[in-house]
Amino acid sequence: MGMALAISPHDHFVFTCGACHQLAFAIHEATGWPVCAFWGVYKGKYDYDVHAFVRTPRGTFLDIDGEHTRYGMCKKWHSRHIHTVRDVTTFMAEWDSDCWCSAYDRARELVPTVLAFYEEGTQR
């Protein structure tokens, strides 16, 4: 996969405040693991994702901060329901714009670092 890079404070901000879906998609592309998300509710309907991440083969969840149990991920994001994204292509098409290209490029660079958290069973 390549050499693991350090996650900078800027990376952490970017992938917890807007570009988490780019990182989730990059991990999904590298591993095939399902993309999951917490959905926000607007006017009584699920309308937007609050946070996106992947589900690992161990049944845990992985994002920029490392590996989390279901309880840990839900507590971290103050959410209760984790949804599996059934159509990743459509999900990502909503975020397909020039402003996200640099975030996606950086996400792809950080995949080995984030996967190392999974391999070690650790968090950032």
Domain spans of the chain, in order of start: 30-120
Q: What pLDDT tens digit does each residue of the chain (124 aa) get? A: 455 689 999 999 999 998 999 999 999 999 999 999 987 665 665 556 689 999 999 999 999 999 999 999 999 988 888 888 887 777 676 656 555 668 889 999 999 999 998 988 777 6
Tens of pLDDT, residue by residue over 42-63, are 566 555 668 999 999 999 999 9
- State pTM to two decimals: 0.85
Q: Which of 120, 5, 118 is nearest to 62 (CA)?
A: 118
- Taking the C-alpha atoms of residue 61 and residue 30, their distance in angstroms, rounded to an integer, is 15
Helices (H), the chain: 9-16, 20-31, 70-77, 88-93, 98-120
